[in-house]
Chains A and B, each alone.
Chain A
Amino acid sequence: MFTHKKPPWTEKLVDRAFIHMTSVLASVVSLTVLGIFFTVGFQAVFQGDVSSLLPWHQDSIWQGIAAWNDEETFGVRWGAVPHFGLGFLANSSWNPVRNDYGALTPIYGTLMTSALALLLAVPLGVGTAVFLTEDFLPQKLRAVIGFIVELLAAIPSVVLGLWAVAMLNRFLAVFTPLYAHLGWLPFFSTEPGGPNLAMASLILVVMLLPIITAVSRDSLNQVPMELRQGAYAVGATRWTSIFQVLIPAAISGIVGGAMLALGRALGETMAVTMIIGNSTNLSTSWFSPSSTIASLLANQFGEADDIQVSALYYAALVLMILTFLVNVCAQVIVKRLALKYD
């Protein structure tokens, strides 16, 4: 009855074209990543725009590189990396007048705000995740709370920043007693009087909470029911089984989630920029204005020129490497510690 119909040659062509197209689209992702690293790196090493990479460009850097030392004639304008070297990371002055740039203050600010935020957000987030996976509340109510926490992740950072600015005075009223009573501690040693590093950390806590909660909740939910039953069957209480069995079994996800959150905290820009005070003076006090790399970029990039632009790209490069390392660590940890239990 049937006659074998040979598929038309177009069908094969469409098929192959489609497969190739998806692979091209997929490589766009990798190309973008490489492009970001390359562009930021390039701008950190050279001044001038990336089009000077083209050999036929009038200011092509290739001419200049060919005549390595003859900077005057061919105009290779070296950027911040050759200018400041690794000393950039340890120099705390950021002086556009003398063109002397170092990123120590924003690096310190980035690490300090992130560490403080993580310190608060991890116990809060993991605790909330435990609360949402245990039977304290009926399943329906827990789902609602879970959804609410997820929504928190969707609020734009700039809106949180605006809210933080509006709330600043109330928070300052909370910080002042800390300064009054514990002012001898270096971290509390200045009078809180405006935007400051502690505020930025608190806003980061609000942003990190949903990430940590969501990831921890997922990994706790994935712990097999049998493990919990096993712990209960030998007479473990709820919290013994949580601390000794459930959390150890879910630890890879929890640590991975915390690392993911750390990556976010390091690069978080808007809310921090609006509330940290953007001072480039190094201060150990949490109640002084400070800056992070991201806030420095948001705040200064618009008005910067020449070597300052390159210095900002250098700082951006440092930030990228930091977040890259944290994210890679997160992935490795998740794979390493993943529970082999089926």
Chain B
Amino acid sequence: MTSNMTNAMASIRHPPTASGLNYNPCAPRNLWNRAMNLLVALFALMAVLPLVVVIGYVLYKGGGAITPAVFTELPPAPGLSEPMGMGNAIIGTAMVTGGAALVAVPVGVGGGIYLAEVARKGSFAQSIRFGVNVLAGVPSIICGLFIYALVVNTRVLWGESFSAMAGSLALAVLMLPTIVKTTDEGLKLVPQELRMGSLGIGASRFVTITRVVAPAAVSPIATGVVLAIARAAGETAPLIFTALFSPFWPDWSSGGGLLAPTATMSVQIYNFGIMPFEPQVQLAWAASFILVVMILAANLLARWLARFSAS
């Protein structure tokens, strides 16, 4: 045994000199390391490049198409080049996204509170967590089909089929899991002592949650909500069979515009972007510009909001 031991050790023992400490740039391991360093630097470059190229291109193409008329006029009829506007789509995006937020934020925050504060464990809570994860993975176009089958096709909304409200519902389905998750995670970050302190002085759970815990988690929740709304504003697939599209101003007489087919910027990009008419393509770029700027702004806002929770 002893001789075996010394043999095994001797075979990797180096002479106790320090000369071998120098960096050998041609050693295979060092060549390999340098090659890999270069490779991942290249990968990172390739990952960043599309964003820079896409944003640059959108800002360049879309920025050039932005005029005051874009905000105040309607789009031209195919083949014409006047008027050059998409005021209806801007209003439509605000209406549809706003409606979606009105539905999804209360439901999502309420559901998040339930998961984080009322029932952290237990099979019901687990099944809901599972549901949140499944819903987050449902393709966005399926949300559109779902609302189409449930709302548009059955005309349950006061006999109307395609409508801004249906579009809002489809987007709300899409936003819901994000909001539940961020609320759940935001509330979990609140230190347990805060809850103990409040419950310990005899406050009810309602008071503890609404007056103590939720205010402490408002920054991460707001961050999640802002990001969810920004994402929803750019969604197209759930809207093409629900809010549909319209070349006109919202029909205020039908449910304040909520019960009629409604143009949105994202659907406009899809519809106009593949048209053979230059004015329409221009408007698609203009809409892309507005959406991208809005989303960049929302992300910066979210980072700014997140800073509050850090301090």
Contact = CB atoms under 8 A, between A and B. Distances in A.
Asked if the two chains touch in their complex, CB atoms less than 8 Å apart, one says: yes
Given A127-B44, A158-B234, A206-B50, A165 B274 contact: yes
5 contacts: A40-B142, A151-B296, A156-B269, A162-B284, A297-B141
Contacts of B36: 239, 242
Nearest to B53: A163
A219 interface: no
A127 B133 contact: no
A299 B108 CA distance: 31
Contact of A128 (B47, B55, B148): B47
B19 to A, nearest CB: 17
A148 B142 contact: no
B128 A154 contact: no
Interface string B41-83: 1011011101110110110010000000000000000000000
Interface in A310-341: 313, 316, 319-320, 323-324, 326-328, 331
B33 A22 contact: no
A15 interface: yes
Nearest to A263: B137
Contacts of B234: 154-159
Interface string B259-294: 000000010011001100000000011001001100
Contacts of B132: 29
B137 A326 contact: yes
Contacts of A238: 33, 37
B237 interface: yes
Given A127-B40, A154-B230, A149 B128 contact: no
Contacts of B173: 32, 36
B212 to A, nearest CB: 14
B32 A148 contact: no
A151 B142 contact: no
A215 to B, nearest CB: 13
A145 B118 contact: no
Interface in A254-292: 260, 263, 266-270, 273-274
State which size class the interface on B falls in. Answer: 35 or more
Interface in B74-98: none
A33 B135 contact: yes
Contact of A26 (B33, B114, B292): B114
B295 A145 contact: no
B110 A294 contact: no
Contacts of A328: 134
Contacts of A148: 48, 51-52
A131 B39 CA distance: 9
B106 interface: yes
A242 B149 CA distance: 50
A130 interface: yes
10 tightest A-B contacts by CB?
Answer: A267-B139, A156-B234, A25-B110, A127-B43, A327-B137, A22-B114, A26-B114, A30-B131, A26-B111, A269-B237
Contact of B141 (A11, A23, A294): A294
Nearest to A150: B299
Interface string A211-232: 0010000000000000000000
B209 A123 contact: no
B142 to A, nearest CB: 6
